[in-house]
Amino acid sequence: MKQDLAVVLATWMLEHLTFGRDHESLSGDLLEELGAGRSAGWYLRQVSMAIGVGVYESIREYITPLIFSASWSTLYPLWRFMERNRSIHPDQWVTLGWPYSTMLYLAEGIIPAITFVWLGLLVYMLVLLRLSRVAELSSFRILMGLSTSISVLLSATMGLFFYLKHPVINVQYVASEGFYSLFRISSINVPLTFSLLAAILTLLPHTPRIARRRRIPHANSGMQLRSVEQP
Amino acid sequence: MLLLTLIRLGDEAYGVPLSRELALMRGRDVSVGSVYAALDRLELKGLVASSLGESTPERGGRAKRYFRVTEQGLRSVHETRKVLSRLWKSLPSVREDPA
């Protein structure tokens, strides 16, 4: 009785913890083997391994974007250094009245950061993706990716204001070169890493593109196939 | 190895016979979940295609997923064989010990 309960529980776990993979056929195969004389211990081991493999496969596709985003963010000081020698300086904006001065200070900090993130996104697409996959991207998906990166960056900006714990929010902080580097791990800029990572993951079809299959009554006769790739 | 096993099984290639055949060839038990993960990757590369088949009571009503090697997959197997054959040819022979 206990063994049956363990099998039922393991099957439930397999079908709910394999993160979008094709669990129905897998659990069917394992149940078929169990019915053919395999032990409950074997079944539980197989289920544990299948869940482990599922978790690993889910994480595996995030590793490259994460490493790229973190590496790219380390170049941000160089990016800010390159745009130091421009004619307009933020100190000139204090003479402007509110809300223009505030808006310009915010823009002064956010625009270089977001252009840096978008440049990173472009480099990622050109260097790490095949051109055929880039061509597959719809303009809606690209807009979603860009807008997600802005949203994440704005959230990080708000988070940094809270982190500073200053009694009055001073927007001039955003315009300073080191604002986004306040929250970093070693030389990795955390807000920019998350912004770029969010953009990459939104832009790319990152979930496993397991074919959506239609049920064919006798699929093993005549090798007929009707599989449709999931977008 | 997986592609060759798929070719060997032909039309009957679904999870159970595949893992049994692989276990037989390797001489130890295989994880069915790992076999599915590898097949998913091969399917993404276009080397393998799959379709859902019939469901049976001993499977708890769950459908079988049949796999087959695509033309591209077959070409890839032939290519690998050619490369391996060339590499095998350069293997030096072992001198037999008279003792």
Q: Which of A24, A36, A221 sits opposite B63 (nearest CB)?
A: A24
- pLDDT tens figures, A197-227: 999 888 876 544 444 444 444 433 333 333 4
- pLDDT tens figures, A85-143: 665 565 665 666 666 667 777 777 788 889 999 999 988 888 776 666 666 777 888 88
Spatial CB neighbours of B32, under 8 Å, sequence gap ≥ 6: A26, A29, A30, A33, A46, A50, B15, B19
CA distance A126 to A204: 13
Q: Select from A179, A198, A185, A200 the least CA-distant residue to A77.
A: A179
pTM recorded for the entire structure: 0.60
CA distance A218 to A223: 9
* Integer Rg of chain A from CA: 25
User: What is the per-residue pLDDT for A228?
Assistant: 37
Average pLDDT value for residue range A24-39: 87
Interface test with B, best of A11, A209, A214, A220 (most B CBs within 10 A): A220
CA distance A24 to A210: 13
Average pLDDT value for residue range B5-31: 87
CB pairs under 8 A between A and B: 122
- pLDDT tens figures, A45-76: 989 988 888 888 878 778 888 999 999 999 88
Give chain B's contact residues with A (Cβ, < 8 Å). Answer: 11-12, 14-16, 19, 29, 31-34, 36-37, 40, 43-44, 49-56, 58-60, 62-66, 68
CA distance B87 to B73: 21
